[in-house]
Structure 1
Amino acid sequence: MRDRQLSNIIAAQPYPFLFVTLSGAHLYGFASPDSDYDVRGSHILPVQEVVGLYPLKETLEIAEIRDDLELDLVTHDIKKFFELLLKKNGYVLEQLYSPLILLTTPAHEELKEIAKGCITRHHSHHYLGFARTQWKLFAKERPQRIKPLLYVYRVLLTGIHLMKTGQIEANLVNLNAYFQLSYLSELIAQKRESTEKSVLVDANVALYQTEYERLYCELEEASQKSDLPETPSAKEALNDLLVRSRLNTGNEFDSSLIHLSHE
């Protein structure tokens, strides 16, 4: 049912897509029954609009509840998306490599290969900054919620894994299969069985803070020791894909909707 609803929403958008995936709690492995659907991707503006006088719709956004489905859709035109890939932006990497694919194209597969040349050790700054923000949110809230705490650990473990392997893994369940942090399994189970705004019961805040500080330092150290490059090397390949994709928007664009994979 959800697959069909999401496919219909995507099909109703005004531009062809290079790809569309799910992000947010569904990607991270701790969606609650009432979690919204964070739909992300990249669309392709036609040449006529790019060279015309009118403002470009570089970003499409929809935030609404439609037939009991809470939707948060954000997609960027390919030029903007590619520019973000060339920066230390972990969000776009996670969206690109999300295994929860709603729409894919041959160019999507090509982009995933090219984007490997966008990953640098400076992506650690994205994850360190996100972790600091989420920890501050968690620490000041009363009562304290599970969601921001899970975000803290999710981004730190994603960052550490990226620095050590050069690969994006945004699913906290998969990450914890490697890191083996017992308290995470309990927190994930609580979040999945409750609501988006569920609060901690008998929270061991001292433990959570100690672990936050330890993993934060581990990510900093992993960045310093990482074999990842200092700068991206994919700009020329991205430019070539951008030009080809833009010029092809006047033709039939080869895309296919496929079903969500469920954990």
Structure 2
Amino acid sequence: MLSIEFENDNFDKNEKVLSAHPVSTEVRSAVEAQLAALEREHDVTVLFACESGSRGWGFASPDSDYDVRFVYVHRLDWYLRVDARRDVIEVPVSDDLDVSGWELRKALQLMRASNPVLLEWLRSPVVYREEATWVARLRELAVLYWSPVRSYHHYLSMAHKTMKTHLRDGEVVKYKKYFYALRPLLAARWIRECGTVPPMRFAELATQLLTDAALVDELNALLDKKMRAGESATSAPWKGIHAFLEKELDAAMRYAPVHVGDRMTADLANDCLMDAVLHFSERPRCAGVT
């Protein structure tokens, strides 16, 4: 298991909710080595790599996995084939590293469909690799193609499933399941009240949206325990948080997000793909790659 010293001070002075994104230098080096090995093995260029799970959301436990997600591009000849080829790279979980990535064309197709997961990747506070010019372009496209309807239903579905399966009244609860319901419900509220792409970070959502001081205090107490306990740690239900979740889910289910018109055409995504493929096809090939 990769080791990391968990920091005691997890409070951002600009926020009222605890937050931590613990990634050690050792882990960053291991991630970079893995990405470089994948580039050599598959003859691709990694454009962007980030944390997508609890370390990106800001409420990781000391033993949380590192959920590394990336977007990559092939050379031109890979795209000039009659038969479709595999557009995902996945690595078996090892040393707490869970690493997988999407090929750029796949990522752009999902972006046009306003895939909420990809939008979160591009807004992650923990970035391992970034081709700045190209990632800036992806982030601009992500906002242009964003659908509040698709995003809202994604977050509502996540919260509803978690509460129905893991947060029933009177049952012992895993700490992390509270946040697997809280974060999507606050993201859904952000869409209702702000009308923009919600932040990935839980602390940012909670700081901007929650005004009940007692609830914030209870959240911070739960966060403190969650950040120091193992992933499987449990407790009796937290009544204030549980009551908030039920009320918030009811409000979320009664809201109908409004379609804001047709999305952008595929032209911008097509241009991005073509420009990136031509640009990165010019890079030198790794030794042994034909």
Distance (whole Å) between structure 2 residues aligned to residue 4 and residue 119 of structure 1: 33
**Which residue identity is paired with 1:79?**
R
1:212 equivalenced with 2:250 (yes/no)? no
Post-superposition offset of 1:24: 0.2
Deviations 1:43-79 (A, max 9, x none): 112222222366523011113223xxx0111211111
Name 1:4's counterpart in structure 2.
29
Give the RMSD, CA atoms, in angstroms. 2.3
Aligned mate of 2:184, from 150, 155, 172: 155
Alignment of 1:73-112 (within 5 A): 73-105=99-131, 106-112=133-139
1:233 equivalenced with 2:264 (yes/no)? yes
Distance (whole Å) between structure 2 residues aligned to residue 214 and residue 48 of structure 1: 54
TM-score of the pair, normalised by structure 1: 0.84
Identity fraction in percent? 22
Post-superposition offset of 1:186: 1.9
Distance (whole Å) between structure 1 residues aligned to residue 174 and residue 207 of structure 2: 24
Distance (whole Å) between structure 1 residues aligned to residue 265 and residue 126 of structure 2: 25
Distance (whole Å) between structure 2 residues aligned to residue 60 and residue 36 of structure 1: 18
1:178 equivalenced with 2:208 (yes/no)? yes
**Which residue identity is paired with 1:7?**
E
Distance change in 2, residues 1:221/1:235 (3 Å): farther
TM-score of the pair, normalised by structure 2: 0.77
Deviations 1:104-147 (A, max 9, x none): 11100111112111112211011011111211231369642111
Name 1:124's counterpart in structure 2.
152
Alignment of 1:32-47 (within 5 A): 32-47=61-76
Distance change in 2, residues 1:173/1:138 (3 Å): same
Instruction: Name which one, 1 or 2, has greater alpha-carbon Rg.
Output: 2
Distance (whole Å) between structure 2 residues aligned to residue 25 and residue 38 of structure 1: 8
1:191 equivalenced with 2:246 (yes/no)? no
Deviations 1:13-34 (A, max 9, x none): 1321121111100111111111
Aligned mate of 1:27, from 38, 44, 56: 56
Distance (whole Å) between structure 2 residues aligned to residue 6 and residue 234 of structure 1: 35
Deviations 1:157-187 (A, max 9, x none): 1222244141331211222212334232222
Superposition misfits of 4+ residues, deviation over 4 angstroms:
220-223
Post-superposition offset of 1:85: 1.3
CA contact (8 A) 1:20 1:101 kept: yes
Distance (whole Å) between structure 2 residues aligned to residue 139 and residue 73 of structure 1: 29
CA contact (8 A) 2:159 2:180 kept: yes
CA contact (8 A) 2:198 2:205 kept: no
Structure scoring higher RCO (CA < 8 A, sep ≥ 6) equals 1
Distance (whole Å) between structure 2 residues aligned to residue 139 and residue 220 of structure 1: 17
Aligned residues: 246
Distance change in 2, residues 1:193/1:249 (3 Å): same
Distance change in 2, residues 1:239/1:99 (3 Å): same
Secondary structure, aligned partner of 1:130: helix
Secondary structure, aligned partner of 1:80: helix
Distance change in 2, residues 1:139/1:99 (3 Å): closer
